[in-house]
């Protein structure tokens, strides 16, 4: 089996065993064979804990905002989590195989043009942190009566410690949060099931409008779990190469899908309370359901810890994405800057004039469009190479090919998705500008009854375009990247 030669000293760039809390200096460099470690079950906890947080709880409540009934919402949420989580689980299997994180692996297809999806994903991680911060900040505001900006600083402090320390610190924190947050939300579930929640949510839609909104809800909820796709291999790359591929897949699939669906169903059962409370609705609902005094405080503290748990994952991946794009910053420094950059955007989510449901819908759906175009390219490239990759060949940015075919496919896929997208901003634009045909959200606003098919169109178009254009690549351009790992 052919391998790249990696200096033994590189094993000191990061942890070498479970529980070794050292600051991980390794960035996008591949983890060498003698630096691999860990049980595959850790993949479950590193993905489970970030989902036990307010964002999916809030997403479940959006079912009511779209006019769907309780059981229609249940169906949409189940479908969304299956479809959205499967690609993430498949990508996670690339980590043990290559020892590399997800966005750096995208250099295989994109070459130097990785700057575009790399920076996009970095910006997306900032956006996710800002959205998550709404819930953590409101929880601390209710708990300690501090201004939102102080609450944001407390969140930043927690996530920065974890993301700067790196891979092992994130894994360990998520493991313990799986138990702590799991216990809190099990209690919350009991309260909801035994009387606080309701399935009496009627539908206000019929016919094509009902189908369209069902598809839109699948897109919104699916985008939450699907949005983890550019992160997937980041948290499996230290696992030994001989780790079972199916075990990685199922631990990722269940860790993300089961937890997010659980939270969404809880939010759906108390949707009226959540939506009626505005920005404070999610945190206040969880506090009130948990009970007075100590239990209510525990609920608010759990929201804070859940926000730190999910943001640490975003922050860590953001640092790797920035490095993958060719930015020369040490990974710990990039992690700190990524978390700090989310502070300003958090203020928009908290103080912006648009309603939180509309801001959430616009943000969550936008993620799907560029990620779908990116996924179409990297999927075709991976299968075209049949998993053959020389990890050393993509670690040096200056030696990468231009990657024009991938960039063209990515841009065309993203552009093609826009007329089929349905954000509130795009929908309102089309309705108020009927002469602008076939632009932002035209199809959902007209024949599709608000169904959002942008993510499907983006994936298909980018995959087909890249499959055609990549055939013209010369063999020499990728000769150094085709050392078999099989």
Per-residue pLDDT tens digits for 37-90: 999 999 999 999 999 988 899 899 999 988 999 999 999 999 999 999 999 999
CA distance 209 to 445: 11
**Domain membership flag for residue 25:** no
- 459 occurs within a structural domain: no
Q: What is the largest CA-CA distance in the chain?
A: 68
- For residue 433, pLDDT over 80 is answered with no
d(CA 56, CA 132): 10
DSSP assignment of 236-273, as one string?
Answer: TTTS-TTS-HHHHHHHHHHHHHHHHHHHHHHHHHTHHH
In a domain, 151, yes or no: yes
The span from the CA of 143 to the CA of 152, in Å, is 14
Residues 141 and 147: beta-carbon distance below 8 Å: yes
Domain that holds residue 70: 37-355
Token duo for residue 218: 């699948």
How many helices (H) and strands (E) would you count in the chain?
20, 0
Residue 201: CB atoms within 10 A of its CB come to 18
What is the per-residue pLDDT across 97-111, written as a single tens digit (0 to 9) for each? 999 999 999 999 999
- Count other C-beta atoms under 10 Å from residue 460's C-beta: 17
- Residue 16 belongs to some domain of the structure: no
Q: Please, which pLDDT band fits residue 391 given cuts at 50, 70 and 90?
A: confident
Contacts of 294 (CB under 8 A, 6+ apart): none
Q: Can you read off the two tokens belonging to residue 363?
A: 């943000």
Determine the average pLDDT of the residues in 462-470.
94
275 belongs to a structural domain: yes
Segment holding 59, helix H or strand E: helix 54-65
Question: What is residue 44's three-state secondary structure?
Answer: helix
Average pLDDT, the chain: 85
How is 212-228 classified by DSSP, letter by letter? HHHHHHHHHHHHHHHTT
Residue 479 lies in a domain: no
Higher pLDDT, 431 or 109: 109
Q: Do the Cβ atoms of 265 and 274 come closer than 8 Å?
A: no
Angle at 466 between CA 461 and CA 468, to 5 degrees: 100
* Euclidean distance between CA atoms 140 and 117, whole angstroms: 34
Q: Which pLDDT does position 129 carry in this prediction?
A: 85
Please give the average per-residue pLDDT across 290-300, as a whole number. Answer: 88
Q: Is residue 94 part of a domain?
A: yes
Query: Does 464 fall in a domain?
Result: no
- CATH at 350: 1.10.4160.10
CA–CA separation, 318 and 331 (whole Å): 9
Question: Is pLDDT at 443 greater than 80 in this prediction?
Answer: no
Number of domains in the chain: 1
> pTM higher than 0.95, yes or no?
no
């Amino acid at each position: 089996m052919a391998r790249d030669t990696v200096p033994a000293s590189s094993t000191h760039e990061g942890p070498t065993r479970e529980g070794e809390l050292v600051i991980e200096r390794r960035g996008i460099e591949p983890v060498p064979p003698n630096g691999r470690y860990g049980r595959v079950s850790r993949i479950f906890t590193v993905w489970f804990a970030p989902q036990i947080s307010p964002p999916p709880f809030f997403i479940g409540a959006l079912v009511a905002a779209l006019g769907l009934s309780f059981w229609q919402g249940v169906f949409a949420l189940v479908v969304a989590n299956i479809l959205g989580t499967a690609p993430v689980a498949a990508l996670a299997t690339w980590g043990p195989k290559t020892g590399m994180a997800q966005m750096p692996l995208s250099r295989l297809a994109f070459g130097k043009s990785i700057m575009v999806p790399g920076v996009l994903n970095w910006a997306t991680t900032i956006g996710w942190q800002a959205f998550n911060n709404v819930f953590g900040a409101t929880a601390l505001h209710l708990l300690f009566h501090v201004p939102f900006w102080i609450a944001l600083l407390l969140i930043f402090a927690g996530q920065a410690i974890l993301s700067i320390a790196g891979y092992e610190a994130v894994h360990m924190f998520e493991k313990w949060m799986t138990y702590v947050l799991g216990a809190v939300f099990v209690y919350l579930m009991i309260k909801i099931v035994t009387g606080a929640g309701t399935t009496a949510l009627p539908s206000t839609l019929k016919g094509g409008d009902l189908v369209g909104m069902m598809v839109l809800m699948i897109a919104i909820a699916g985008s939450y779990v699907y949005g983890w796709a550019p992160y997937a291999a980041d948290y499996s790359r230290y696992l030994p190469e001989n780790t079972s591929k199916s075990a990685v897949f199922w631990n990722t699939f269940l860790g993300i899908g089961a937890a997010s669906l659980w939270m969404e169903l809880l939010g759906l059962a108390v949707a009226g309370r959540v939506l009626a409370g505005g920005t404070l609705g999610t945190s206040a609902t969880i506090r009130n359901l948990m009970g007075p005094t100590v239990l209510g405080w525990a609920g608010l503290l759990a929201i804070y810890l859940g926000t730190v748990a999910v943001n640490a994952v975003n922050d860590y991946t953001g640092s790797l994405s920035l490095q993958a794009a060719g930015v020369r910053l040490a990974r710990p420094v990039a992690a700190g800057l990524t978390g700090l950059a989310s502070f300003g955007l958090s203020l928009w989510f908290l103080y912006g004039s648009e309603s939180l449901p509309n801001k959430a819908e616009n943000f969550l759906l936008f993620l799907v469009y560029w990620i779908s175009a990116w996924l179409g390219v990297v999927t075709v490239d991976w299968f075209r190479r049949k998993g053959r990759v020389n990890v050393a060949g993509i670690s040096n940015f200056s030696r990468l090919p231009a990657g024009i075919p991938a960039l063209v496919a990515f841009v065309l896929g993203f552009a093609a998705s826009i007329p089929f997208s349905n954000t509130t901003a795009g929908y309102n634009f089309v309705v108020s500008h009927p002469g602008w045909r076939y632009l932002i959200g035209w199809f959902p606003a007209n024949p599709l009854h608000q169904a959002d098919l942008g993510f499907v169109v983006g994936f298909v178009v980018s995959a087909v375009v890249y499959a055609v254009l990549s055939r013209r690549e010369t063999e020499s351009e990728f000769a150094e990247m085709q050392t078999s790992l099989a």
